[in-house]
């Protein structure tokens, strides 16, 4: 039987391997942070870490604050290994989260339209058998092959640290992205405006119109931990309380 300790060791080993691949690829080891490029150098220069959860406006945020794509979709556990304990504690760490129903709707249509790069196009092949969003939700969501794809990985997996806590200084909401970006911009002393890149075709449409009651329930089950911890409801009715709770915590820092 595999013990909890053995699972933790295995997960740590996998995270270490991912960090080594990042370092070997040149990310964060002297490459310039050109637009469209991945580099961790701006993180050190700004004493910050942005955890980019797919389909939360992260490309726009990274380009505005860092001039490139930062660390891509690197998880917080990998940043814990990448930086010293002192730097990790000192850096301003932030992310943006999104309504899970809205995020899934956006991610599906984004990949169906070709995605951002070759990796996205490869992921899209797995969606080829789903002709509609409804078919994908009812028959694909929950399938381990689907849930391993970055765009469908639960958001908590990106932001939960090795000790089980969420070691972030600020959590922004996609639903109030411009306002929350301004908070980060001021904190990092940046003057850049947020320009919206990498939009999903039809992004301005109402995701709620794409769901039936059965689909709503399926997503609620698949992403129940995200929903419980991040506080979302299908129609964003809880968003004002999410913001109040977040801001109350910031006031205590």
| Per-domain boundaries in the chain | 4-251
Tokens read off for 6: 């053995």
pLDDT of residue 86: 98
| Cα torsion 104, 110, 113, 116: sign | negative
Q: How many CB atoms lie within 10 A of CB 248?
A: 9
The number of C-alpha atoms within 13 Å of 115 and in the hemisphere containing its C-beta is 18
Distance CA 196, CA 64 (A): 9
Percent over 90 (pLDDT), the chain: 69
Q: What is the mean pLDDT of the chain?
A: 85
Side by side, the strands of the sheet bearing 48-51 are 48-51, 92-97, 170-173
pLDDT in tens, 69-93: 999 999 999 999 999 999 999 999 9
Report how far Cα 44 is from the mean position of its chain's Cα atoms: 20
Residue 147: partners with Cβ closer than 8 Å, 6 or more residues away: 141, 153, 154, 222
Give per-residue pLDDT as tens, 113-127: 878 777 888 888 889
Residue 12 pLDDT class (50, 70, 90 cuts): very low
Report the 10 Å Cβ neighbour count for 123.
18
């Amino acid at each position: 039987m595999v013990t909890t300790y053995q699972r933790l060791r295995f997960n740590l080993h996998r995270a270490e391997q991912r960090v080594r691949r990042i370092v070997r690829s040149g990310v964060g080891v002297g490459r310039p942070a050109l637009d469209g490029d991945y580099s961790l150098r701006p993180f050190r220069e700004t004493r910050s870490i942005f955890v980019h959860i797919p389909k939360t406006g992260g490309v726009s945020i990274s380009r505005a604050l860092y001039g490139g794509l930062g660390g891509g979709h690197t998880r917080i556990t990998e940043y814990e290994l990448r930086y010293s304990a002192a730097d990790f504690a000192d850096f301003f760490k932030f992310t943006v989260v999104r309504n899970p129903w809205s995020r899934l709707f956006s991610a599906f249509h984004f990949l169906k339209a070709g995605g951002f790069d070759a990796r996205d196009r490869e992921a899209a092949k797995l969606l080829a058998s789903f002709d509609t969003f409804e078919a994908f939700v009812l028959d694909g969501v929950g399938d381990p092959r689907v849930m391993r794809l970055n765009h469908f990985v639960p958001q908590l997996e990106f932001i939960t640290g090795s000790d089980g806590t969420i070691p972030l200084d600020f959590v922004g909401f996609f639903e109030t992205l411009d306002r929350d970006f301004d908070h980060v911009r001021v904190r990092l002393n940046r003057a850049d405006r947020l320009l919206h890149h990498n939009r999903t075709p039809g992004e301005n449409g109402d995701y709620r119109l794409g769901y039936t009651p059965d689909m709503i329930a399926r997503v609620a089950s698949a992403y129940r931990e995200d929903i419980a911890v991040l506080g979302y409801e299908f129609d964003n009715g809880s968003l004002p309380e999410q913001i109040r709770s977040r801001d109350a915590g910031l006031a205590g820092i």
